[in-house]
Structure 1
């Protein structure tokens, strides 16, 4: 079965998570500089069978797009241009960064380790993907 990949796109860094072959478990894959995402994905898609890509949709509490929405919309346009055949789904990414930080605390990471923004981005993508998988099962 092909994998599902999730992207937590940001101005500087982008967190990427992917499912296992059975689409049961989401795992953090990496965090990369945002300007390298398309190149990274071209390489990754050449090596791995990916059926769908999830891209976070930033929203405010009232459901309106957040201030980072235009940045992510521009990335979505680039993504669709580079990968016109890939199934793309937008998913709500509210609270994923806060949940990622709390996950780091709960797992016992030291304060210095919790300041690693790249790790937060990767965990955020993983949370987004695992939430998607949980909703898909029901």
Structure 2
């Protein structure tokens, strides 16, 4: 099939090759409305929502909401399936840099723990009374 022909991508046909582009591990969830959610990386790096009309690529972001629990999505871009090239190689060439951009943006938000000297995701940061930026693990040990 050439790129001039109508693309044939959908949630079912694209999930396998998109998962192969994601950092490991990949956690798969099914959501209402025939949506597949892929959370990738440990700690979380990128979130991909495969929807009937489009795929959404986002930066993993963890926020607590009292009435709704944890939300883990921050959309970077949505790409309608019909906009992706029908060729697997060309479709991957479009999606791969978007996943890499989401991963890089997530990692740019990490902080440096002043106690253990490790780079940590922002949801693990604790502001101490002394003004030190520390991770939850180091804070719990003090």
* TM-score of the pair, normalised by structure 2: 0.28
Greater RCO structure (CA 8 Å; 6+ sep): 1
Larger proportion of helix: 1
* Structure ID, larger Rg: 2
Larger proportion of strand: 2
